[in-house]
């Protein structure tokens, strides 16, 4: 009986910790919060793309209709400047998301989840700028997520196919994130985590490809998380519109 109580308590602490930490900073996560719970996230991102600099301030909200079904919306505001112009904050491309978790395997000290994801992006921003800023066309993305979390580390992977309409080449996007907690697990949650995140993009129609690396840090306490991430290209042979020479992100999230 004592062993059963210990296992139940341990799993409860793991689940609470994972909820408070949230997903990796730049990679989505198949673990969900539970029915009638959600997350509010806001951050600032500075993006250098060729001779253009973008200042992004996205707001992201997701809500779990069921334990395994989540919907969400991304609403970015973007300012830009280059050699010829300086423009203040305007709406970027708005995105609607849905995610369905179809695998959940929990064990003592660890859990494994898988989920399917779909996202539709509307051309509400500027045209022909950059993803999230404004692409001038409807976009659709479908993919799959998988992740394993334990008390010592976490690994999350994401693979998606992005259809970008007639104006831009379609692409495959793969992400892989490693999380390394620095403190012992505790309740209420108080955790610092290092994230090592990789992203690969392939555009077969134009022989384009890129690989990015991001170093991130997240401080989670109770139902809140503060996070910082810097992403830079390792290889980048893509059309100018999709270049990411530097992407600095700082922000936070909390459970609602």
If one compares 213 and 88, the residue with the highest pLDDT of the two is 213
Strands (E), 59-168: 59-66, 69-75, 77-81, 86-91, 95-107, 110-121, 139-150, 154-163
Q: What is the pLDDT of residues 198-230, one digit of tens each?
A: 999 999 999 999 999 999 999 999 889 999 999
**pLDDT of 12 over the 80 cut:** no
Lowest mean pLDDT among 23-27, 49-53, 123-127: 49-53
For the chain, list the domains and their CATH numbers: 2-255 (2.40.160.40)
Cα separation, 184 vs 102, in Å, equals 30
């Amino acid at each position: 009986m004592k062993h059963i109580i210990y296992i139940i308590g341990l799993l409860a602490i793991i689940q609470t910790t994972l909820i408070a930490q949230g997903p990796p900073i730049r990679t989505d996560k198949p673990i969900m919060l539970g029915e009638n719970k959600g997350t509010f996230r806001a951050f600032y991102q500075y993006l250098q793309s060729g001779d253009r600099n973008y200042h992004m301030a996205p707001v992201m909200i997701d809500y779990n209709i069921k334990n395994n079904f989540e919907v969400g919306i991304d609403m970015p505001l973007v300012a830009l400047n280059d050699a010829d112009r300086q423009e203040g904050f305007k709406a970027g491309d708005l995105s609607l998301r849905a995610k369905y978790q179809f695998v959940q395997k929990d064990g003592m000290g660890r859990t494994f989840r898988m989920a399917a994801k779909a996202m539709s992006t509307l051309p509400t921003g500027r045209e022909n700028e950059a993803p999230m800023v404004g692409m001038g066309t409807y976009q659709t993305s479908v993919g799959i997520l998988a992740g394993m979390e334990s008390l010592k580390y976490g690994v999350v992977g994401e693979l998606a196919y992005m259809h970008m309409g007639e104006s831009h080449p379609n692409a495959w996007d793969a992400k892989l994130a490693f999380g390394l907690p620095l403190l012992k697990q505790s309740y209420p949650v108080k955790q610092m985590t290092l994230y090592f995140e990789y992203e690969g993009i392939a555009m077969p129609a134009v022989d384009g490809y890129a690989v990015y690396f991001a170093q991130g840090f997240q401080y989670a306490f109770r139902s809140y998380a503060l996070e910082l991430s810097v992403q830079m290209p390792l290889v980048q042979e893509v059309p100018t519109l999709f270049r990411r020479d530097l992407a600095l992100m700082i922000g936070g999230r909390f459970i609602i």
